[in-house]
């Protein structure tokens, strides 16, 4: 137990937790990398730290400068917290469909928030493109300059997982790992951990778990980028091959319906005390599918992406679930406080 000098040293080195129900059900060891235990409560703290450090090292980001990013929320939270610890300003462009809790947290962390309508990447008003233009503009007007974090196409993102997440998983499992599964937002986690683990043992199976509405399941199974449907999961679901995804060693792909993902999220909370967001459900459902494909006795690692309280108004809200046609667990409907 050492003393961390700043918040930055508290990012990463997360525990690997055995997910007991799905492990027992499949006869495999299904292990979750507890990324929700990072200071910003998500896997994106690692990418935020590496992107900022890379820009500072290259000199494109100056002390007192501004970091601009388009994000579904978690990367912005990571950038804002790391930014505060380093005396940087953050400006975050977020699609208005993202949960209120993430927007509140961003404001709390001092980020300047720009909310834009959620439109496809091809549209010039897409949040990623707006953030790129805003960064170029602020680079000219801000006293200490500005940089665009550009998490989708900035490979400092996946480098975080090559250099930290993958070696941690390798050490924690003592090399006894047969497969790794992850959903994709930017692709930093899947590609970075995939590259890092394959460097240790090329025999490890790397698998994608994709939500409906994303194009990657189709890409990795047929070679064609094609998307159908939609999902309530947040932070995942990609329609293109980002720079972070280029060359990603993906051996298998699964498409996970929302009903399958949310059931796992509810079970993990009810039976194992793990309070997690929707993308974790997609990941763990993917791990179950891979465990069944690889057979009993295998060890599979996946990512517990972010903390569930970030989604109380949606994923854990019976009215929202009913509106989306998703099953509501009985315990979620029970009255709250009982006074005795």
Q: Which is nearer to ligand PMP, 189 or 231 (CB)?
A: 189
For residue 177, give the nearest of 201, 208, 209 by alpha carbon. 201
Closest contact distance (angstroms) between CB of 44 and ligand PMP is: 5
| CB 21 within 8 Å of CB 32 | no
Asked about 102 being catalytic, the answer comes back as no
Helices (H), the chain: 20-26, 44-58, 74-86, 100-108, 127-141, 156-160, 166-172, 188-200, 216-222, 258-272, 278-294, 318-323, 330-333
Q: Which is nearer to ligand PMP, 205 or 242 (CB)?
A: 242
Q: Which residue is nearest to ligand PMP (CB)?
A: 235
DSSP letter for each residue of 156-184: HHHHHIIIIIHHHHHHHTTT---EEEE--
> What CA–CA distance (Å, rounded) separates 186 from 154?
10
Size of the site for ligand PMP (CB under 6 A): 19
Query: Among residues 44, 102, 252, 314, which one is catalytic?
Result: 44
Is 38 a binding residue for ligand PMP by CB under 6 A? The answer is no
Among 305, 314, 316, 321, binds ligand PMP (CB under 6 A): 305
Kindly list the distances between the CA atom of residue 161 and the CA atoms of 190, 292, 303, 305, in Å, as whole numbers in the listed order. Answer: 9, 26, 12, 13
Is 277 a binding residue for ligand PMP by CB under 6 A? The answer is yes
Residue whose token pair is 């027992």: 24
Q: Which is nearer to ligand PMP, 183 or 274 (CB)?
A: 183
Closest contact distance (angstroms) between CB of 27 and ligand PMP is: 27
Kindly list the distances between the CA atom of residue 164 and the CA atoms of 113, 139, 197, 303, in Å, as whole numbers in the listed order. Answer: 29, 31, 11, 14
Sign of CA dihedral 139, 142, 147, 148: negative
> What CA–CA distance (Å, rounded) separates 208 from 251?
8
DSSP 8-state secondary structure symbol assigned to residue 209: E
Q: Which is nearer to ligand PMP, 23 or 283 (CB)?
A: 283
What is the token pair recorded at 307? 């903390």
Closest contact distance (angstroms) between CB of 71 and ligand PMP is: 7
Is 150 a binding residue for ligand PMP by CB under 6 A? The answer is no
| CB 182 within 8 Å of CB 208 | yes
Spell out, one character per residue from 118 to 147, where the chain touches ligand PMP: x when CB under 6 A holds, - when not: ------------------------------
Which 48-77 positions form the footprint of ligand PMP (CB under 6 A)?
72, 74
Which 164-223 positions form the footprint of ligand PMP (CB under 6 A)?
183-189
Closest contact distance (angstroms) between CB of 144 and ligand PMP is: 27
Among 11, 30, 43, 169, binds ligand PMP (CB under 6 A): 43
Q: Which is nearer to ligand PMP, 108 or 137 (CB)?
A: 108
Among 67, 181, 306, 316, binds ligand PMP (CB under 6 A): 306
Which stretches of the chain bind ligand PMP, using CB under 6 A?
Answer: 42-44, 72, 74, 183-189, 234-236, 277, 279, 305-306
Q: Which residues are catalytic?
A: 44
């Amino acid at each position: 137990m050492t003393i961390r000098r700043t918040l930055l040293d508290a990012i990463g080195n997360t525990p690997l937790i055995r997910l007991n129900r799905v492990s027992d059900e499949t006869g495999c060891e299904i292990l979750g990398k507890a990324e929700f235990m990072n200071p910003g409560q998500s896997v994106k703290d690692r990418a935020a730290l590496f992107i900022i450090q890379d820009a500072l090292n290259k000199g494109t980001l100056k002390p007192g400068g501004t970091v601009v990013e388009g994000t579904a929320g978690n990367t912005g939270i990571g950038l804002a917290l790391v930014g505060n610890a380093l005396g940087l300003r953050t400006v975050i462009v977020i699609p208005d469909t993202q949960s209120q809790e993430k927007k509140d947290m961003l404001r709390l962390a001092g980020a300047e928030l720009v909310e834009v309508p959620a439109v496809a990447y091809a549209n010039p008003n897409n949040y990623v493109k707006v953030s790129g233009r805003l960064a170029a503009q602020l680079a000219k007007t801000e006293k200490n300059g500005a940089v665009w974090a550009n998490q989708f196409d900035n490979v400092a993102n996946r480098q975080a997982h090559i250099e930290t997440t993958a070696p941690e998983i390798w050490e924690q499992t003592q090399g006894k790992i047969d497969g790794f599964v992850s959903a994709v937002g930017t692709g930093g986690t899947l590609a970075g951990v995939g590259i890092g683990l394959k460097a240790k043992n090329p025999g490890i199976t790397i698998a994608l778990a994709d939500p409906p509405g994303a194009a990657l399941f189709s890409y990795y199974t047929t070679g064609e980028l094609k998307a159908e449907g939609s999902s309530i999961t947040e932070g995942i679901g990609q329609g293109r091959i980002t720079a972070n995804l280029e060359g990603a060693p993906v051996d298998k792909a699964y498409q996970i319906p929302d009903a399958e993902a949310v059931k796992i999220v509810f079970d993990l909370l009810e039976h194992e005390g793990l309070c997690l967001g929707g993308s974790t459900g997609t990941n763990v459902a993917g791990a179950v599918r891979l465990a069944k494909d690889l057979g009993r006795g295998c060890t599979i690692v996946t990512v517990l992406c972010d903390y569930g309280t970030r989604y109380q108004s949606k994923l854990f809200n019976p009215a929202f679930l009913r509106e989306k046609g998703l099953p509501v667990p009985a315990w979620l409907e029970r009255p709250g406080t009982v006074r005795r």
